[in-house]
A and B are shown apart, each in its own frame.
Chain A
Amino acid sequence: MEIFKYIFKRIIQTIPLLIIVSLISFFIIRLSPVDPLAELRLNPSVSQETLQRETQRLGLDKPIIIQYCKWAKSFIKGDLGITSNGEQVSTKLKERIPNTLLLTIVVITVTWLAGIPLGILAALNWKTPFDRILTVLTSIGMAIPSFFFAVLLLIFAVKTGWFPVGGLTGANFADMSILEQIKDITHHLFLPVLVLFTISLAGLQRQMRANMLDVLDSDYIKFARAKGLSETKVIYKHALRNAINPLITLLGFEFAGLLSGAALTEYVFQYPGLGRLILEAVLKSDINLVMASLMMGAIMLILGNLIADILLIITDPRIRIKS
């Protein structure tokens, strides 16, 4: 029961955060000298009525505080307005958010599957050539600019023809069987995932290695060894569990970093995700779309941190006792 109380408390804490985020984003965007409806006005396919409705909805003729309240009200209701093409912002977001989530979740999974074992191996072989080579490799991975790496991989894809360039699905995706569809998506995801994986692996692997080294030095590991436990048991039963725990906090940060890093990667690979959407929206100064995707990005980030925190509350009893 205690656990639920803490989780509930933690969820309540995100509400003021969301309000401040929305205030910040709203004022940044309203500070810009751009007329929020300029694109709409220029688009002949958008009727005068729609324009009128948008002016009404945004309260553009009223002071900025009222504008914010109006915007917040319609945001909570789920009415995000229309893009400069006259499409509903919400449908556009519904299209893109799952794609970005798919990309980030796949990357996080792959990074953890590779980073944890590599971290353990590096710690167990501390200061051996294996450890050093791994450190050098991860340093290199960390230093490549994501967009540059993406461009290099694109050259590779174009020259070899092994990978499709751009998009998430092939041309005749709708006609494929489920199995083929999964294969097609995997094929398209491979390069973007590779870019983000290379960049985020270093952080996780190093953290795991450091935690493991820390834990291996501790008294209870010495005790377990003194007791005569086998080395596998000492490492995989006693050390590993304690070393992984702090990484859960990292999960939240990783999610944040990926959302940012993914934007450039999505842009280079023409991947239909939230990052590319916001970029296109920014370049077209499509205010409704920018505002909505900025909020969505923030909500995703806050939720990511929330999930990490809840996981930590569940796995680490010390946190419950402290608070």
Chain B
Amino acid sequence: MKEIIKQLLRDKFARLALIVLGSIYLALFFADFLAPYTKDFSDRTMAYVPPSKIFTIDENGKLSRPYTYNYIREFNQESLEMRYKLDRSKKYYLKFFSQGQPYKFLGIIPMKYHLVCVEPDGRLFLLGTDINGRDVFSRLLFGGRISMTIGFLALFVLFPIGLLYGGISGYFGGKIDNIMMRFAEAVMSIPSFYLLIILASILPSGMTSIQRFILIVIILALIGWASFARVVRGMVLSIKNQEFVMAAKSIGQSELGIIIKHILPQTTSFVIVAMTLSVPSYILSESGLSFLGLGIQQPDASWGNMLKEAQEFTNIIYRPWLLTPGFLIFVAVLAFNLIGDTIRDVLDPKSRVR
């Protein structure tokens, strides 16, 4: 384990990936503070507003405190289009570390301070707004909390199931093994994305967002356990004939006890590696599911469901800021993959990804 961490820090790419992921998670942890607005803040008159322009040089050409203008809606009679124009009549100065919308830090501690705010009546949309006039930048931070943790949570559900299933199947062998493995193979034979959307679609509609989140986690876990269980079974097959298992048997340890206490701990290093390697695929699955509208639902944000708006042509052409979640997914997945590659190289000198 120490060796892996040492290698990760030594490798140029992996170090960069660790820094990127570290800063993403740090930003998500302090999302309430970093975001100018709360998750549910919406200004209905400000739908699809482009990113606010921040000025540091005023109209006289002098350096000034950073300020911004509000946008006003304007209807163009000739092209019959809604346009947003900067309203240059009033300046709004940015305020740092000042009081803004109240929130609860970590869900408990009530706080008001934000990293950056704007004077009252001013609007600061660093990455524009969506159809409901919600700040995309703030929602990116809150949505990231869901997108970047859902994969890990699914893994924590999936691994115990896979471990136990593979453990039992490998330990008992014979008919039990045969039946259990046929079942696992059958689950693997269904194209995983088909299974994913079907499971997501049978979720009843009137659920709270927390219930839905938990069920999505479980569904993601249901997709991946089978292939993991198969690998565990293979490992258990080679472990179960070693002396320490015989010893445990001879002192009268129960069979389930042997599997859980003696055999499965032997697979720890594999489990950790498999976990890091499969996080990105869960991030991608969740975002794909939410992109289709079957995953995390509005008003909750996730990177996938924020991209749902990018399905419309007019949006992707005239409102490119709505695509930012896609870049974040890409960066996060790339970073996880780079770390995974390095770990694989350390553990298996034959793999030589780099």
Binding site for B on A (CB under 8 A): 16-17, 20-21, 23-25, 28-29, 31-34, 126, 132, 135, 139-140, 142-148, 151-152, 154-155, 158-159, 206, 210, 213-214, 256, 259-261, 263-264, 267-268, 275, 278-279, 282-283, 285, 290, 293-294, 297-298, 300-302, 305
B286 to nearest A CB, angstroms? 10
Known A-B contacts A17-B186, A147-B291, A297-B190; the reply to A282 vs B334 at CB < 8 A is no
Docked complex Cα distance between A263 and B188 (Å): 17
Docked complex Cα distance between A281 and B59 (Å): 58
Chain A neighbourhood of B280, CB < 8 A: 143
3 closest A-B pairs (Cβ-Cβ)?
A32-B202, A260-B193, A20-B186
Known A-B contacts A33-B204, A144-B330, A148-B330; the reply to A135 vs B323 at CB < 8 A is no
**B201 contacts A285, C-beta separation under 8 Å:** yes
**A210 contacts B186, C-beta separation under 8 Å:** no
Binds A, one of B156-164, B258-266, B306-314: B306-314
Tell yes or no: B182 within 8 A of A by CB. yes
Known A-B contacts A139-B334, A145-B330, A158-B317; the reply to A24 vs B186 at CB < 8 A is yes
Tell yes or no: B337 within 8 A of A by CB. yes
A24 to nearest B CB, angstroms? 6
Chain B neighbourhood of A142, CB < 8 A: 333, 337
**A29 contacts B198, C-beta separation under 8 Å:** yes
Chain B neighbourhood of A20, CB < 8 A: 182-183, 185-186
**B330 contacts A17, C-beta separation under 8 Å:** no
Q: Which one of B288, B333, B337, B354 contacts A147 once the chains associate, using CB atoms below 8 Å?
A: B288
Chain A neighbourhood of B288, CB < 8 A: 145-147, 264
Size of interface on B: residues with Cβ below 8 Å to A: 47
**B190 contacts A158, C-beta separation under 8 Å:** no
Contact sample, A vs B, 7 pairs, CB 8 Å cutoff: A23-B186, A147-B288, A256-B192, A267-B292, A275-B193, A282-B201, A293-B194
B178 to nearest A CB, angstroms? 10
B223 to nearest A CB, angstroms? 10
Tell yes or no: B352 within 8 A of A by CB. yes
**A264 contacts B202, C-beta separation under 8 Å:** no
Using a Cβ cutoff of 8 Å, how many contacts connect chains A and B?
Answer: 141
Tell yes or no: B353 within 8 A of A by CB. yes
Chain A neighbourhood of B51, CB < 8 A: none
Chain B neighbourhood of A33, CB < 8 A: 202, 204
**A28 contacts B193, C-beta separation under 8 Å:** no
**A17 contacts B189, C-beta separation under 8 Å:** yes
Docked complex Cα distance between A143 and B333 (Å): 5
Known: A144-B330, A263-B191. 8 other contacts (CB 8 A): A151-B323, A158-B313, A210-B352, A259-B193, A263-B197, A294-B190, A298-B190, A300-B191
Of residues 292 through 308 on chain B, the ones whose CB sits less than 8 Å from some CB of chain A are 292, 294, 307
Known A-B contacts A17-B182, A145-B333, A210-B350; the reply to A25 vs B190 at CB < 8 A is yes
B226 to nearest A CB, angstroms? 11
Chain B neighbourhood of A298, CB < 8 A: 189-191
Known A-B contacts A29-B198, A139-B337, A263-B197; the reply to A214 vs B186 at CB < 8 A is no
Docked complex Cα distance between A142 and B277 (Å): 13
